[in-house]
Amino acid sequence: MPTTDRDIAQLMSLAGSRPRLPEDRALRIRAAVLPAWLAETRSRRRRRVGSAALMALAAALIAAAGLSVWRSSPVDGPRVATAERIEGPPPTVIGPDGSSMRLSEGFVVQAGHRIASGEGRVALRLESGASLRIDTASELRMSSADLIELERGAIYVDSGSAPSVAAGISVETPLGKVEEIGTRFEVRFDDDGLRVRVRDGAVRLDGPGVSARGAAADELRLGPDGRVRRGSIATHGADWDWTLAVAPAFDLDGRTLGTFLRWTVRETGWTVRFADESLRTELESTLIRGPRASASPREALPLVLAACELSFRLEGGVVTIFNPRELGGAE
């Protein structure tokens, strides 16, 4: 019978990867275990979350993400990125010499490598510190750390959290080129043409004889006819869910709840409000003690808040956090 965290970790590593549960079944399991988990956490000091109180969170997050095999590639050329997270079947990486292998977490991507995602998704950490996420059914070539050749499919770029980006990231497609200006955006190229959606910041789209600039909540479409069409989009919601599924993990241990909430907001596009503004100051310095959160922000938020004996409402992209006891238990 395992008695320590190390014993539990060893057993979990021996178990190997688990297939992803259907979302409806996963939600039913979380709903079933949450009351017992809350009963345990309520016996502890209210604003301090210990590692034992977050063991259920660890199990839920690990089960949601699965376990990955660590493998690094031999570094023969300029390194441009490192594989940070994989969801679904591992994508294929093809070297300049035509050799291919399955991408794994920790794999060093070099200039000239091509990536075919197939039915999986992958998050890469570029050498600049920016996050690059690749959707399913995508094919691209990593020409350098700041130049991506997208042949088909979709990618998401988040360069805003990078500590220093000397040059903006450029995405080239057969129809046109997209250049970012400190932003988060998605580029999708398929038979219908080139689509760029900007979450914040700005991008520039250049094609044969055309040029357009997009800002937050803008969508630019460049069709095979060479015309650019502009529209407005929501910066949160189902259209961005695929980027959450492969969002890089957030290390909970020793971080504050305020930091966790800012990560959640950045990844989801939600806005956070507090039913009681005095709660904002208190939570900003609340320390979290627990494991690395490998689940998506959407999955992690209710678990972390429940461990802090807090509740929330999500309406129209606005998350309202409150203490259910102070509101008479009503949500």
- Domain positions in the chain: 5-66+249-322, 79-239
174: left (phi over 0), alpha (psi -120 to 50) or beta: alpha
Q: 5-66+249-322 has which CATH code?
A: 3.55.50.30
User: Is 38 a residue whose pLDDT tops 70?
Assistant: no
Cβ count within 10 A of residue 320: 15
Q: What is the pLDDT of residue 303?
A: 87
Q: What is the pLDDT of residue 106?
A: 96
Q: For a pLDDT cut of 70, what percent of the chain falls above it?
A: 72
Q: What is the pLDDT of residue 74?
A: 53
* Higher-confidence position of 140 and 159: 140
Mean pLDDT of the chain: 80
Tokens of 287: 């320390």
CA distance to 19, 97, 177, 246, per residue, from 70 (Å): 18, 23, 34, 17
User: Is 207 a residue whose pLDDT tops 80?
Assistant: yes
Closest Cα to residue 81, out of 116, 117, 128?
128
Q: What is the pLDDT of residue 163?
A: 44
Q: What class does CATH assign to 79-239?
A: mainly beta
User: Is 11 a residue whose pLDDT tops 50?
Assistant: no
* Higher-confidence position of 181 and 110: 110
Average pLDDT over residues 287-303: 78
Q: Where are the alpha helices (DSSP H) in the chain?
A: 5-15, 23-42, 55-65, 241-245, 257-268, 277-284, 297-307
69-87: pLDDT as tens digits: 334 455 567 999 999 999 9
Cβ-in-10-Å burial (0-12, 13-18, 19+) of 209 comes to: exposed
The predicted model scores a pTM of: 0.75
Can you tell me which residue has the tokens 């490998």? Answer: 294
Q: How far apart are CA 292 and CA 10, in angstroms?
A: 16
220-269: pLDDT as tens digits: 999 999 999 999 999 999 999 999 999 998 888 888 999 999 999 999 99
**Within this chain, domains 5-66+249-322 and 79-239 share the same CATH topology:** no
CA distance to 57, 77, 131, 249, per residue, from 291 (Å): 8, 35, 22, 10
